[in-house]
Each structure stands twice: as C-alpha cells, then as structure tokens.
Structure 1
Amino acid sequence: MPIATINPATGETLKTFDALTSEQIEAAIGRGHERWLTYRRTTFAERAGWMRAAAELLDAEKDDIARTMTAEMGKTLASAAAEAAKCAKGMRFYAENAAHFLADEPVDAAAVGASKAYGSYQSLGVVLAVMPWNFPLWQVVRFAAPALMAGNVGLLKHASNVPQSALYLEDLFVRAGFPSGCFQTLLIGSKQVEQVLRDPRVAAATLTGSEPAGRSVAAICGDEVKKTVMELGGSDAFVVMPSADLEKAASVAVTARVQNNGQSCIAAKRFIVHTDAFAEFSRLFVEKMKALKVGDPMDPATNVGPLATEQGRTDVEELVDEAVKSGATVLCGGSRAEGPGWFYPPTVITDITTEMRIYLEEVFGPVASLYRVDDLDAALSVANATSFGLGSNAWTTDPDEQARFAVELEAGNVFINGMTTSYPELPFGGIKRSGYGRELSAHGIREFCNLKSVWVG
C-alpha cells in the first residue's frame, strides 16, 4: 500500500510520500535511544509543561487538523474536530495525573528486613506504536501522552493512508517543547516494521489494528522477548431487554453503529434484542438508520461519510452479499450507490444464521446485524458467541439483569444504558482475540514502565 493521502470521498490521490530507507530507520532509532538516556531524567513537572503546551496548540489548530483527517480517511468534519478536542483532554489528563500514577509505592520495610523498601515505576526506553487510520490522532495520543509522561520516547508507524496526520503529531510535540527525538514519525511500510522491532534499542511495542497485524507484531516481539500491548478490534454486542427505554436505545444504537462511518473497533455491531422488544426496537432502529444523510464528509449536514479505503468497502460488501445469498433479510441499505468515492449506505440485516461469515467476523462499516432472542440467557449466549471481546452494551433498568450483564458479558468494557466509548479516566482494552494489556487510566501509563523493587538495608 503506497504512503499517500487519497481522498476517500473522491478516490483522488492528493499527496504521496517516500518510505524511509533502512539507513534512515536506523538513524531514527538511534536518535530516539540517545534522547531517552537524557529525557528519562527530566521531571514530571517539565514533561507536564510540554504536554499542556501540546494540548493548547491542538485546541488552537483543531479545525485545521480536522480537515486533514477528513481528507485522509473520510470521517465527518464534526467528528474529526471532536477527536482533536478529545486528544487535548487526554494530554491534560496525563499532564495532571502522571506523577500521582507513577509515585513510588512504599511497602512494609520491616517485613522484608530493610530500612526502606518500595516499588518504583521507571521508563523502559524507545517504544514503537503501530497505529491504524480510523482515529488518526486519538489512537496515537492515547499511547503518546502516557508514554512521554512516563519518560519513554516514541516511534510512530502510522497507517499508510494518514501520513499527514502522522507528521502533524511529530511536529506538534516538537513545537510544544519536547526535546528533539522524543517522538518521531516513521513513514514506513508494514514490511519495514520488523527491522524496528528487532533493534535491541527498541524496548517495547503497542499495536492497534487487525488481528493478523497483531499476530505478526506479537510474534516478533515474543521472539525478541519484548513487552507488547495489543488492541485488535471487536464485534461488540448491543443487548436490548424489555425494560429498556426503546426510543433512547434505538437512537444511541444508530450512533453506536455508524460512528466514524462504522469504522470503530468499539462500535456496536451485533444488536441482540429480546423478543418482547424486538418489533418496536427494530422499527425505530431501521427508521433512524434510513434517515441518515450519506455524503461529503466536509458538509456539516452529512451524518455518514465514505469508508476509508476501497478495499474496506469491498470487504463490507462481500460480508453483506454472502449473508443475503444465504438467506439473511435486508431491512435497509445493503447495496452501494454508483458514483465516485467509497460510500456504503447505513444497513440493517436480520435472519442471520451461524453458517454466515457475518455471524463471526467483524464488519468494519455501517452495517448492523439484528438478532432476536427469547430471554437473558439466550442474549448472553449470542453476545459471547464471538472470538472478540472488546466492548459491549446492555440496555435494561432491571438491577438483577444489569448485575448479570456486568459479570457475564465477555469483554474488556461493559456499558449499561449508554454507548461504549473511551475515557482517559477508564482503563481500555480487550480479552480473547481483541488483544491484551490496557490503555488509558493509571493502568495505561504503567504498561510501559519497569516496576522496580528497591530495597535499602
């Protein structure tokens, strides 16, 4: 895949970039390692000052970078601006809390025969982040903000279709005052990642992306015995029980499915509805999906823009077409309109069986799978019948049902009567084939630290 900005609304190539050579990659790793040797000695106060400055710059420039994100991957302009604002919030969160999160943890010195004993969180060094295109800034910032505040330095291998967003982030941190080399963007292809991972000066890696990409990076890092954090997508359940506010649930369901044009790992994808609520919920849901405006993502009136890549649209089409040929029913959407750009309409399908690919595979586009179940046990069974385990939603006002969903939904995140999203304050990550490790909160900043035991006699 070329490193290029290709407008998904038109298919036009706007700008291309050359990949770094092996020698340039080597030099970048060297700069990062040399910088870490001094940067790790900076204080939390110094790092926090630079991080707050980055947040201020991002707030001031959010409209400009929003247009860049929209041009590169097709998210609506409003959602791009909101993403930039969320990044600034995340930066401030770690600027304010890193010192507390990474404070020394004293233990009972007498119990271990010491005059003083404690656990100390210390940076690891150079960390490689392999990031996806769907949230060009937020996916990176939720790694970069805690990593830099912990005293690590970062190398970014971003998706090849968002190079301008990637370069903006490096420039942002430099202009904010971070020492040169603290955060570098590597414009490289996927085949060049192994060179970075196998370099002994690279201490760890984090990846958000597809399961095959995660397997590849994790395998290399396993061979090198390097720490990794993986977030590999999901096929989130959205369960609706009879006691739910169906009007609100249906409205949130639409947003949960088509957010980011349906291209979000934590977007609700499988809508599992109790039979007593099925008729009314499905009516409301389909009605609201049909009302969405698909079009130019730069137009403020647009609700759903194009998919980010042509191949992405093809993948969505194949899953829907295969399901329909096998007996699934399309309630709305289901076929793309002719014309330029990689658009696909908001779609709802039902009558899905276990033999269909769509039953098990993640659909990365604005397509909702609708299931009818007879009771709570059946809802949990369908919800958990996937290899993924990232996020989940349950809609019920029954306290006993809420308690069961909180415990028995197999996911890293359970949201009850609300849409799954990520907050700096909450740990974020998955189980099963959605990955391992956690981002955000205190847990996220500690992932790439050495928890060193210190004993003083």
Structure 2
Amino acid sequence: MISVNPTNGKTIKTYIEDTEKQVNAKIERTHTAWIKWKETRFSVRAEFLRNTSAVLLKRKAELATLMAKEMGKPIASGIAEIEKCAAVCDYYAANGANFLKDEIIATEASKSYVCFQPLGVVLAVMPWNFPFWQLFRFLAPAFMAGNTGVLKHASNVSGCALAIEDVIKEAGFPKDVFNALLINSKMVKDVIAHPFVKAVTLTGSTEAGKQVAQQAGFHLKKTVLELGGSDPYLVLADADLEQAAEICMQSRLINNGQSCIAAKRFILVKEIEKEFTKIFLKKMQSKVTGDPFDQKSDLGPMARIDLRDELHQQVSDNIKAGAKCLLGGKIPEFKGDHAFYTPTVLSGIKKGMPAYQEEIFGPVALLFSAKDEDDAIRIANDSPFGLGAAVFTADATRAEAIAAKKLNAGSCFVNSLVKSDARLPFGGINQSGYGRELSSFGIREFVNIKTVYIQ
C-alpha cells in the first residue's frame, strides 16, 4: 500500500498490508474490548470523547499537513476538517446519553419501555476525500452508544488511518476499542463475514455500496451507506444572483469538488440563465489552483492522478456529446507528476449526455437550462441519486414548499449550500444510499432497539 503525494507524484510512504491472521486478531481484540466498553457509564464515554476533541485540536496543524500530503487538501481546509471532528466529539459527549435514554411506553403492562443497547464491533469502510471527518462522524456516536470499531480506510490515506488510531490512544480510550486495518478492498468481504463484526458503515461510491450491502446482507448484518450524489442547485427567477453564484461556486469547489454533497448540477430558469452564468464564470475563474501548502491556493490537486484522468475523460466525452465548455476543461501545466485540474464549467447539458446521469467528482460544474420552476424541479428529480439539493429564491415560503415537498433528496437547503451538521440527520435516498448519520437518528443506527415488557 503506497501513499503518494498528488501534488508532485512522489511516494510518501509504503505500508505493509495486514495479513489475514493479523486482521482476525485485531477484530478479536476489538470484540474483547467491547465486552468491557459496553458496560461503561455514559459519563465515562463522554469524558473520553472530550479528551479526543482536545487531542484533535492540539494536533490539528499536524493532521492537516498529513491530509495535504496524502490527498491534496489545502491546509486551511484541513484544519477546518479537524475542528469539525473535534466539534462532533463534543456534541455527542454532551447529547449522547439523552439520545439513548430509556423511553417509557404506556401499555397494559405494569412497566414497558424501550432501551438502546450497543451491537458490538462495527466496520467502517471510509473514503479519502474527508479522511478524518468521514470517520469521526461515525465513530463519535458509535463510541457513545457503547460500540467499538475497526476501520478499512482508502489505501492512499493509510497515514491518516494510523493517525486516527493514534489520536484515540492519546485520548486515553481503553486499548483496542478502535483498530485500523491496513487491507485492500478484496479483504473487506472476509471482515464483514467475521462473526464478531456486527454491522458496517460505508461512505463511498454507489458501486462500492452495492458490493458491501450485498456482502452484509448475505450475513444479515446492518448497514448504513452514504454514497454518491449529483446534487442539484435550482436558481429561480427572483433569486439574488450574486449571492446564489457565490454559494454555488463555493459548494462546487469545496475539497476541489471531491465531495458527495458538493453542488454538481446547476439548474437555471431561462429568465436568469445568461446573467447567472456570467457571474458564476467570473467567480469560478477567480479561484487559484496550486500547492495545498501555499496560502494563496484555493484548490489543491485531486487525490490521485487516475481520478483526475477519469474526470478529464468525462469532460471530454460530454463535450463530444454536445456540451459546451465555457471554462477550463484542460489539465494545467505544473511540474512533476501531478493530479491538478482547473475549475471547469460545461453548459447545455441535456438528457442523453453522460453528465445528465453520472456523478462528476471534481471541480466541474454542469449548467442546465429549465423553462420554468416546474421544469427545474423535474430536471432536479430526474436523477438516480438523492443525497442533497438546494433552491435559491427570494420567496421563502415557496422555497420551503419546494425543499420540503418537491425535491427528492435526503437534505434540502434554501439559499444555502448543502452541508453536514452534527445536529441534523445526514444521508441519502435512491442510489445515494440509506440510513442516517449524525443527530439523534445517527446514534440509533447501530444499537439494538429493545422492548422491555413487565407484566
């Protein structure tokens, strides 16, 4: 397993994969740790989470540097990611016990209630794009619920995986409540099958989600899947175009466009199409692509060269299919073997073109033209995905009706970019997955919701 710097193509470090024997031993130790961990009081678990928050904040510069090296995230963005991880630990430390308190239910019994008990070892299969946040938004509630965890991280961020393990140790958690598995994707099937692994959470591509769901389903194990997305942003005739264009640009370019909930499809009603496009192009063009360690850089490289090349091929295929390239569409010239790709805007996206249905994972914006509001909603929903969506309009009442009742997605935002927040449930529908993370809903995904009835 090789960690390669996407800024220059140089090898950072080579990691030796765990053997089958080592993997099984780690899972067994994590299960043994769970037997004691599940008996700890909520107050004890909360204290460990607060310790974790403190360690993350203390080490945020170091961890942001590691992300910049392994997957190209600009330093400022990396620090913000670590701060968000610390916040989710504090959130569940403060609220987890209340989320999982017994619920009394009035029945004919002398006493009846619902209690919530941990399942055991949960496998987390995580991607490279937010190598700390994706894991901690699962791990914080999982720990608070009394579960333990093992991690199969993306192979190009193995350093981040081991750093997370080290943070947990430094926070003082009991030994082996969390273990990183340095394995390839082919070994995930065997980990899921292990009798001590009770559930699986995955953030990744739709195809990866299907494979994990199939494997877990065969063994009757619970899964939560946060998969791909092609989030639509609807810009209506009465929207504040300057504000809308700024938010749309920010969402499209977050993490160099490598986010499941980044805005990908911009659906513009005809009245404002030309003016919005003009403003949006200017904002996209103003962003600087460069070394993630340079404070002047707004965007770093993509995580890997092969991913950049796949993105460029998608852009080329759509241009051949009739899309118009208004900006970018080229691999920039930088020294060394790099994974940079400049901000790109394609217009005239129509049904039948690859981009109409595919997820575009990188700094490429797709502009769609809609006849009117109803047509914009139709186009937004004409997608196999359903992760997030946003609508921009000055009419708050109308916007809320569209967001709440007409857009098919797990999260719908009005005059704002789609984002994850520890206080709100997060997840998708259709090909974007199922289950929820964060909030009170997320912490209840990996527990036994048990009925107790006393006559």
- TM-score, scaled relative to structure 1: 0.98
TM-superposition CA deviations, 1:52-98 (whole Å, max 9, x none): 00100111110110000111101111100000000000000000001
Stretches of structure 2 that go unaligned for 5 or more consecutive residues are none
Give the secondary-structure state (helix, strand or coil) at the position aligned to 2:411: coil
User: Which of 361, 366, 370 matches 1:364?
Assistant: 361
- Check if 1:263 corresponds to 2:258: yes
Distance 1:13 1:54 in 2: 30
Distance 2:322 2:196 in 1: 54
Match of 1:166 in 2: 161
Give the secondary-structure state (helix, strand or coil) at the position aligned to 2:303: coil
Match of 1:66 in 2: 64
Which amino acid is the alignment partner of residue 365 of structure 2?
Answer: A
Match of 1:94 in 2: 92
Query: 1:318 deviation in Å?
Result: 1.1
Query: 1:4 deviation in Å?
Result: 2.3
Contact 2:346/2:367 (8 A) holds in 1: yes
Give the secondary-structure state (helix, strand or coil) at the position aligned to 2:271: helix
Query: 1:279 deviation in Å?
Result: 1.2
Match of 1:229 in 2: 224
Distance 1:402 1:41 in 2: 44
Match of 2:402 in 1: 404
Match of 2:194 in 1: 199
Stretches of structure 1 that go unaligned for 5 or more consecutive residues are none
Q: Structure 1: which 4+ aligned runs deviate by more than 6 Å?
A: none
Query: 1:401 deviation in Å?
Result: 4.0
Match of 1:438 in 2: 436
Query: 1:234 deviation in Å?
Result: 0.1
Match of 1:349 in 2: 346
- Check if 1:41 corresponds to 2:39: yes
Query: 1:406 deviation in Å?
Result: 2.4
Distance 2:357 2:58 in 1: 43
Which amino acid is the alignment partner of residue 180 of structure 1?
Answer: K
Give the secondary-structure state (helix, strand or coil) at the position aligned to 1:415: strand
Give the secondary-structure state (helix, strand or coil) at the position aligned to 1:161: helix
Distance 2:19 2:326 in 1: 50
Contact 2:202/2:209 (8 A) holds in 1: yes
Give the secondary-structure state (helix, strand or coil) at the position aligned to 2:35: helix
The alignment yields a C-alpha RMSD, in angstroms, of: 0.8
Match of 1:84 in 2: 82
Contact 1:273/1:372 (8 A) holds in 2: yes
Distance 1:304 1:406 in 2: 33
Match of 1:175 in 2: 170
Contact 1:275/1:373 (8 A) holds in 2: yes
Query: 1:397 deviation in Å?
Result: 1.6
- Check if 1:119 corresponds to 2:114: yes
Contact 2:391/2:399 (8 A) holds in 1: no
Which amino acid is the alignment partner of residue 331 of structure 1?
Answer: L
Query: 1:353 deviation in Å?
Result: 2.1
- Check if 1:376 corresponds to 2:351: no
Match of 1:189 in 2: 184
User: Which of 417, 421, 444 matches 1:423?
Assistant: 421
Distance 2:24 2:88 in 1: 31
Give the secondary-structure state (helix, strand or coil) at the position aligned to 2:155: coil
Which amino acid is the alignment partner of residue 17 of structure 2?
Answer: A
Distance 2:351 2:269 in 1: 18
Which amino acid is the alignment partner of residue 363 of structure 2?
Answer: P
Aligned length: 452
Task: Please show how residues 141-156 of structure 1 align to structure 2 within 5 Å.
Answer: 141-156=136-151
Distance 2:206 2:292 in 1: 28
- Check if 1:250 corresponds to 2:245: yes
- Check if 1:212 corresponds to 2:212: no
Which amino acid is the alignment partner of residue 61 of structure 1?
Answer: R
Which amino acid is the alignment partner of residue 114 of structure 2?
Answer: G
Which amino acid is the alignment partner of residue 95 of structure 1?
Answer: A
Query: 1:194 deviation in Å?
Result: 1.0
Match of 2:321 in 1: 326
Which amino acid is the alignment partner of residue 231 of structure 2?
Answer: D
Query: 1:337 deviation in Å?
Result: 1.7
Distance 1:177 1:156 in 2: 19
Distance 2:296 2:366 in 1: 26
Give the secondary-structure state (helix, strand or coil) at the position aligned to 1:99: helix
* Range that drifts further, 354-363 or 128-137: 354-363
* Range that drifts further, 436-445 or 370-379: 370-379
User: Which of 308, 313, 318 matches 2:308?
Assistant: 313
Contact 2:403/2:413 (8 A) holds in 1: no
Distance 2:399 2:290 in 1: 40
Contact 1:396/1:402 (8 A) holds in 2: no
Match of 1:128 in 2: 123
Contact 1:127/1:153 (8 A) holds in 2: yes
User: Which of 272, 277, 281 matches 1:277?
Assistant: 272
